[in-house]
Structures are given as C-alpha cells and as structure tokens.
Amino acid sequence: MQLSRRLLIASGGALLLPLPALAKASPIVETAYGKVRGVSQNGVHVFKAIPYGDTTTGANRFMAPQPPKPWTGVKECLAYGPQTPQGNGEPVVRRPSKYTQLYAGRPEEQSEDCLILNVWTPALDNKKRPVFFWIHGGGFSTGSGSSPWYDGTNVARKQDVVVVTINHRLNVFGYCHLGAFSPKYADSSNNGTLDCIAALKWVKDNIERFGGDPDRVMVHGQSGGGRKTTMVLTTTPAQGLYQRAVVQSGSQLRVDTLETGEAKARRLLDALNIAPTNVDKLQQVPLKDIQKVQGKAAGAGAQWMPVAGTPSLPAQPFDGAAPTMSRDIPVMIGTCRTEQSGFLGVDPAMDTLTDEQLKERLDKVQHGEGEHLYAMYRRLYPKSGNAEVLYMAATDRSYFLDSTIQAALRADAGGGPTFMYNFYRETPVDDGRYFAPHAEEIPFVFDSLKNGAVIAGPVTPESRHLADQVSALWANFARNGVPSAPGIPEWTPYDSKSRPTMIINDTSKMLDDPRSEQRKTMLAFGSQQEAYGRAVSHG
C-alpha cells in the first residue's frame, strides 16, 4: 500500500507501526459513489470530507445541489475539506479584548467545492445505530462542520451512535432570491437548506454502510444550526429523511418574504453592474468579487436567509402555526440562560455598568421599555449584577422567547412530543463573567470538553459527569424519541399551559414555566423576528 502525504499526516503516531498494522487502521467503505478510506483512532472510525454533492461553481452556482460524480479507486477521506465561501474573502479582524472571545474559531480554506460531510462511527457492522446529523452554527452566514467542538469521537464511542457533520452553502451562495428574475433560479434562496437535504439523502442511502440506521436520524444544530434545523422541519423536500430533531438556541419563526428577498438580490446585481435580465452572468463572476459586495447587498444588520413563498418553502416556518409536514416528529427545543453574554460579555464596559447605563441598554432591548424592564429584573434578581441583568433580559427578549413560541405552537398542534430545556450550567471561563453563554452546551452534547475548554472551562469530574448525562440525553432521544439519562428526572413533554421544562445543570430538574413573568412580558412585545422583513426590504 502506498502512503500519500495526507495519510502520513492524519495517521500521526501510527507511522511507527509496521505496514500491515497501519493498513488495518485504514478502514474502507464503499458508498453509492465510490470507495472512501478513513482512519481508526480512539476506538472510532473517522471519515472526513466525503462528497455528498457536485461542485457548486460555474453553471451549478445558485442552482440546486447535484449528486456527486462517481469516482474510481479509493478516495482518501483523512482530513477536513474546505468550508463554503463566507465573509468578504478577507481574514476576519476581531476587536482586541482582555476577555476570552468564545467564538473566535480558526481560519479554514474556502472553496465552492464544499458539499462534503464527515462521519464518526464505533464500528462498520450491521448494528444500525442512531445517527446524529449535525448542522453547524454561524447564522446563515458563517461556520463549518469541522469545528473541534463538533468532534464526534467521544459521543460515538461512549453512546454508540454514528455522527455526521456537514458543510453547505451559506450567505449569498445559499440564500439569494434570484427567482424574481428567472424561473431557472426559482429555489435559489433555499439552496443552503437544499444542500442540507441533499446530505440527508446521502445519509439515507449510505449510512447503513457505516453502521448507522437510516430510520433513526436526528437532525440537530445550534444557533444558525438550530435555525437550519427549523428549516428542515418546514422545507418540503426534507420530509421523510429524519425521525427526530433538536433546535438548540435557534428557533427560526420567520424568514424573508418574496419582497425582501428580491430587494436583496437587486442590490447584489446593482453592486456588480449586472442587469436583472442578464442574471445568468452571476455564474461567471469571480468568487471574490461576489464576496466583496454580498454583505452590503444583504443590508445593514441583516443576513441572507431562506425566502418563503418559493417552491420548496411555500410558507413561513412557524408564523402562527407549526408546519404540518413535521407534525409527528419528536422535537427538543432549548436555550442557554444568558445566551447574549457570549456576545456582550467580551466588552470590558460590562464591568462598570451603572444603573443608568443599564436602563439605556435595556431600552435598546425593547424600545421605550428600559425603565419597566429595569424594575422587573431588579425585583426578580436583587442579587444579580447589572451585566447579568442585561444578559438575561436580552436573552429573554430573543432566544428564550422565540423558543417558547416555537415549542408552544408544536405542542398545541399535537402529533409528536416536544421537549423543552434550559441550559443553566455556568462556565468558569474568565471567573464566570459569561454565566451560561450561547453555545456552552455544545461540548456537553458532543462530550468534547477538552476541545471546548474555551467555552466550558477546564475538564473536571463535575463537568465530565454532566457531559455524560447531556450526551446520553441526546443519544437516547435519537435512539427512541424520548430524552433520558442516568441521574436525570423523567422529562415531561411540553404543553402551552404548564410548560414543563428541563433545567440542565450539575443537578438537573423539571420546572413548570420557568421565567414565566419574563416570558409573558416579552411575549407582549411580540417576537423580534416579526418586524425583521419590513426593516431590511427597504434597507
């Protein structure tokens, strides 16, 4: 067997083994499109950058995903592949801070040849394990499936599941509504979701060869991944490709209207000096030229996102009703207690926030309600500092409120049960200034605490015990549709009256309607997503 440079790098210490031993550590699986070679490490077989779709360059740009071209021989799937193009094509410059930037990430190669996925499996047998199908975060704009936080090694081995993470098209390449200018692009605004669905189809056709069960697929994701999971619950071609779903801090109630999507697309064409009648020219524009203008074209404070009223997405996701296509699917929905601390807490000004400054910031949480919110949170949390009060209020107004709206709509519709959670475990990072920030649950779901120390803190017996419980909750939900784990109380499904919710912490417990007064207050203002389209369509 000849050793390629990538195999030498990926095998690490295995290079010290005799050649036959190394060969045994290189599992090969024959997919529907060709053979792939992975690597066995830490009791798990890992395959990276398996193509699930064809290139999205040239004539395939802004078009629905196509199946990958079959290959001969064995494809080396030993290293992560490129992420989808994102940002303006230049390195991200972050404002320096004396505090830990929880979401700094790491630079990755970008390419339009990005429809790839990664698989972790405990064994290549016929056992038919439940499947974790993970969609990465980053809104509809950034991220990839190769974050160290998403490493599936521990959860695959310890919980006996198969883990899949994916890359898919983002921002303008995944969500630009060109259908207003040519029927050829009728569904171009949903290509990011259609990529996820193409990956789900790959799983249905191939995952049994990796020891997984195509009839026990759990779609889940956090933040933007939760939003894209919501889209899978409501985008018609996805029906029948999954059996469970988990929406982590990303309840997408509404997306762009046809009017908003068209306005963004017109701004893009104007920035590139392309007439709407010549929209096909977009397929020949250099990648970096599109990246340079895509942010401004989306509009100030906005991002590219799916458009409702299109062939695969005929209606808004959760606009007053739950989608009937996923009515019978068991779903978990939840948030972290102080989601917004992950974004606001990096600012040292939080250390000296006065009462008046807090009121001013609360007035931005809900215009004209700063004094009211200040009085309510000070009464409810007399021992909390001003920074924590701001984090709680900003979280309750956004992530928390929307999660309760989504869960209640599903519960009232009947069908599959909905399970609500709140993640309350406080991270010790930077002396606890972030409390329970956005994305803190991820290293516990994946049991990847070592990789996620930047947000979860150092690995301790207590954090490891909680990771065992949380990863088991998700794994058993994938396995049988009911989240359960040793030491966790029985989880009662959600309903819009008593609103039973699992509080996940070092000692977890069920509570009815937690943060009830805050929820009712924020609900009276309506979801922030309701006014979004009106604001950006004319931006």
Q: How far apart are CA 246 and CA 332, in angstroms?
A: 5
β-bridge partners, 220: 134, 246
Instruction: Report the relative pairing of strands 331-336 and 418-423 from DSSP bridges.
Output: parallel
Residue 478 has phi, psi (to 5 degrees) of: -65, -35
What is the secondary structure of 191-204 as a DSSP string? HHHHHHHHHHHHHH
Instruction: Report the relative pairing of strands 244-248 and 331-336 from DSSP bridges.
Output: parallel
Q: Which residues contact 120 (CB under 8 A, 6 or more apart)?
A: 44, 45, 46, 151, 152, 153, 156, 162, 163
CB 368 within 8 A of CB 437: no
Among 339, 369, 426, 440, the one annotated catalytic: 339
Q: Which residues contact 278 (CB under 8 A, 6 or more apart)?
A: none
Instruction: For residue 339, indicate whether it is catalytic.
Output: yes
CB atoms within 10 A of CB 423: 27
CB 121 within 8 A of CB 201: no
Q: How far apart are CA 271 and CA 275, in angstroms?
A: 10
Q: How far apart are CA 115 and CA 55, in angstroms?
A: 7
Tokens of 479: 């396995």
Instruction: For residue 220, indicate whether it is catalytic.
Output: no
Instruction: For residue 223, indicate whether it is catalytic.
Output: yes
Q: What is the CA radius of gyration of the chain?
A: 23
- The runs of H, that is alpha helices, within 329-448 are 341-344, 355-365, 370-380, 386-395, 401-413, 442-445
Among 223, 341, 398, 537, the one annotated catalytic: 223
Instruction: Report the relative pairing of strands 116-121 and 44-51 from DSSP bridges.
Output: antiparallel
Among 136, 168, 177, 438, the one annotated catalytic: 438
Q: How far apart are CA 153 and CA 447, in angstroms?
A: 9
Q: How far apart are CA 58 and CA 286, in angstroms?
A: 10
Q: What are the b/e assignments for 140-162, b being 16+ CB within 10 Å? A: bbbbbbbbebbbbbbbbbbbbbb
Instruction: Report the relative pairing of strands 35-37 and 418-423 from DSSP bridges.
Output: unpaired
Instruction: List, by residue number, the catalytic residues.
Output: 223, 339, 438
